Structure 1
Amino acid sequence: MPYAVICLDRPGTRALRDQTRLAHMEYINMHRERMVLGAALLEDEDDVRVGMMIAVDLPDRQAVDAFMRDEPYNAAGIFESVVVRKCARIFPEEDRAHFDNLLREERRKAAQANHAPKVA
């Protein structure tokens, strides 16, 4: 069953969000087969990230709660609010290469900063 999850950042967590981004992307990548949609929520004026919206295909609300408990942005305390609702899936993701490119870039940045996690 698809669930929509809308998360809004706490004020003042931009630096923590940036520091946690690679861990977040690795976590999403580990659960990619369950992801229906993923999007960053942006400020209207300057495109600063202020939250995220995902649709995840999990069997029930308890599974969604467990997924979100371990999600790195959430575990780091970045979110001020998290709203979970069942949803009706209308269309799937067609272009998976976009996420691969974003993840590759974050891994490259982390490696340059000498903070790359060990990836199997």
Structure 2
Amino acid sequence: MLYIRLCFDKPGTTELREQLRADHRAYFKPNLLADAVPHLVQAGPLCVSDNDDTNLASFMILEATSLDEVVRFHDGDPFTKAGLYDRVYIHRWDRHI
């Protein structure tokens, strides 16, 4: 099954995001492998606008056998542990196209 993980940053956390970016990427690198559970299909930051690359959220598509697997993955993310996120949405995605 596919899941969407959408995490909006707390205001004023740009510096914290930069400090933890390498740890965040290292954390999910093993999940890029095709047989990883959960498997990270796509990921990247959402930007403020076409002219402003400031991150306002993190977006991921993950393949997993349950929502619990994705929540455990989310809970272990260095961004999550540091309290970077203000709002988090994790939902199963029923991809049609």
Tell me, yes or no, whether TM beats 0.5: yes
Paired residues in the alignment total 91
TM-score, with structure 2 as normaliser? 0.86
Provide the C-alpha distance between the structure 2 equivalents of 1:61 and 1:47, rounded to a whole number of angstroms: 30
Match of 1:21 in 2: 21
**Are residue 35 (structure 1) and residue 40 (structure 2) matched?**
yes
**TM-score where L is the length of structure 1:** 0.71
Between Structure 1 and Structure 2, the one with more helix by share is 1
Letter matched to residue 25 of structure 1 = R
Question: Equivalent pairs: percent with the same residue?
Answer: 26
Could you list the structure 1 runs, at least 4 aligned residues long, displaced by more than 2 angstroms after superposition: 88-91
Cα distance between partner residues in 2 of 1:54 and 1:90: 17
- Residue 90 of structure 1 deviates from its aligned partner by 6.3
Q: Considering Cα pairs closer than 8 Å and 6+ residues apart, tell me whether 1 or 2 has the greater RCO.
A: 2
Cα RMSD, aligned residues only: 1.4
Alignment of 1:1-120 (within 5 A): 1-33=1-33, 34-44=39-49, 45-89=51-95
